[in-house]
Homo-oligomer: A and B are copies of this chain.
Amino acid sequence: MHASASPRSAVVAAALELFQSQGFEQTSVEQIAKAAGVSRSTFFRQFGGKEDVVFADHEVLLERLRDFLAEGHDDPWEAVCAASESVYSYFADDPDLARRRYQIVRRVPALRDREIVTVFRYERLFDEYLRRSLPGIDPLDAVGFAALVTAVHNHVLRQLLRGRKKVPLSTLQTALLDVRRRYGVLEEETAQSSDDVVVAVFPRSMPIAEITRRLRTRLD
Q: Scan residues 12-60 of chain A and give those whose CB is less than 8 A from a CB of chain B.
A: none
Question: Smallest CB-CB separation from A211: which chain B residue?
Answer: B215
The CA-CA distance from A197 to B208 in the complex, in Å, is 13
The CA-CA distance from A179 to B143 in the complex, in Å, is 12
Set of chain B residues within 8 Å of A181, measured between Cβ atoms: 205
Are A143 and B147 CB-contacts (below 8 A) given A113-B113, A203-B198?
A: no
Contact of A170 with B by CB under 8 A: no
Contact of A120 with B by CB under 8 A: yes
Contact of A146 among B151, B200, B205, B219 (CB under 8 A): B151
Question: Smallest CB-CB separation from A124: which chain B residue?
Answer: B116
Contact of A147 among B114, B117, B150 (CB under 8 A): B150
Q: Pick the most buried of A136, A146, A147: most chain B CB atoms within 10 A of its CB.
A: A147
Contact of A6 with B by CB under 8 A: no
The CA-CA distance from A193 to B146 in the complex, in Å, is 27
**How near does chain B come to A217, taking the closest CB pair, in angstroms?**
10
Question: Smallest CB-CB separation from A179: which chain B residue?
Answer: B144
In the complex the two chains form, is A203's CB within 8 Å of B199's CB? no
**How near does chain B come to A112, taking the closest CB pair, in angstroms?**
8
Question: Smallest CB-CB separation from A142: which chain B residue?
Answer: B155
In the complex the two chains form, is B204's CB within 8 Å of A219's CB? yes
**How near does chain B come to A102, taking the closest CB pair, in angstroms?**
17
**How near does chain B come to A160, taking the closest CB pair, in angstroms?**
14
